[in-house]
Amino acid sequence: MKVKTKSGKVNKAWLNDHVNDPWVKRAQKEGYRARAAFKLEEIDQTFGLVRPGAFVVDLGSAPGAWSQYLRRRMGTRPDPQGTSSLNGTIIALDLLPMEPIEGVHFIQGDFREAEVLARLEAVVGMAKADLVVSDMAPNLSGIASADAARVSDLIELAVDFAREHLKPEGSLVAKVFHGGAYDALVHLFRQTFRTVKVHKPKASRDRSAETFLIGMGLRD
């Protein structure tokens, strides 16, 4: 005998919202792997972050929607066969596997592990990035203090990476969540970057606590 649980009702409601979501439908129509592509698109269009020829690092990249957007944005005009070459460099990293994207160098591993960070830094080499984007998010437990600590840990690692590997005029985009760690993370960004913006794209669900911090220009 099957019993309807609260979680089952929640999952069914989420699935219904997902199927009928106009952003999901648009992503499917335009060939993006997730609606998240339009979050980065809006941030880029608002702040002018992605340029052809750029060096970009995509943290928390799976399933690949942000890397897809970057690849299209940094692609040259298609040749008669409909293909375009990448004008720039995109390095992506995620704990989960990601289907290949032409021209994108993907590393699978946990960003919190020193060995994985070393692999990423080996690929980056001596180059300095124009842009680091982070859609990383921990698995949330529902325990506010623990979740705030997990979020802070990832964002602090992303900021540390940006300090080491961004050009002086480079930018960092990071997903954060309103909650116990939010004010401290905004403060961290303001300590690190000359200009800090907070932006919630239209493609973010209204009920979601997520928002994005954009830091531009490293402080000396």
The model carries a pTM of 0.88
Same domain, 24 and 41: no
Q: How far is C-alpha 72 from the geometric centre of its chain's CA atoms?
A: 16
Q: Report d(CA 26, CA 120) in Å as an integer.
A: 32
Q: Which amino acid makes up residue 20?
A: N
Q: Catalytic: 25?
A: no
Same domain, 13 and 49: no
Q: Which amino acid makes up residue 212?
A: F
Same domain, 159 and 141: yes
Same domain, 158 and 94: yes
Same domain, 123 and 162: yes
Q: How far apart are the first and last CA of the chain?
A: 65
Same domain, 41 and 146: yes
**What tens digit of pLDDT does each residue of 55-89 get?**
999 999 999 999 999 999 999 866 555 567 999 99
Position 8 scores a pLDDT of 53
135 assigned to a ligand binding site: yes
**What tens digit of pLDDT does each residue of 33-44 get?**
999 999 999 999
Q: Per-residue confidence at 11, pLDDT binned at 50, 70, 90?
A: low
User: Looking at residues 115-142, what average pLDDT do you find?
Assistant: 92
Kindly tell me if the per-residue pLDDT of 15 is higher than 70.
Answer: no
Residue 212, beta-bridge partner list: 175, 199
66 assigned to a ligand binding site: yes
Same domain, 23 and 69: no
Same domain, 40 and 64: yes
**DSSP codes of every residue in the chain:** -----HHHHHHHHHHHHHHH-HHHHHHHHHT-SSTTHHHHHHHHHHH----TT-EEEEES-TT-HHHHHHHHHTBPPP-TTS---BSSEEEEEESS-----TTEEEEES-TTSHHHHHHHHHHHTT--EEEEEE---PPP-S-HHHHHHHHHHHHHHHHHHHHHHEEEEEEEEEEEESSTTHHHHHHHHHHHEEEEEEE--TTS-TT--EEEEEEEEE--
Same domain, 7 and 84: no
Kindly tell me if the per-residue pLDDT of 14 is higher than 50.
Answer: no
Q: Based on the structure, what is the number of domains in the chain?
A: 2
Same domain, 24 and 91: no
Q: Which of 6, 12, 175, 202 is catalytic?
A: 175
Same domain, 25 and 60: no
Q: Per-residue confidence at 53, pLDDT binned at 50, 70, 90?
A: very high
CATH number of residue 57's parent domain: 3.40.50.150
Kindly tell me if the per-residue pLDDT of 159 is higher than 90.
Answer: yes
Contacts of 182 (CB under 8 A, 6+ apart): 176
Which residue range is the domain that position 4 belongs to? 1-30
Q: Report d(CA 48, CA 108) in Å as an integer.
A: 28
Average pLDDT across the chain, whole number: 89
Position 3 scores a pLDDT of 35
**What tens digit of pLDDT does each residue of 20-30 get?**
789 999 999 99
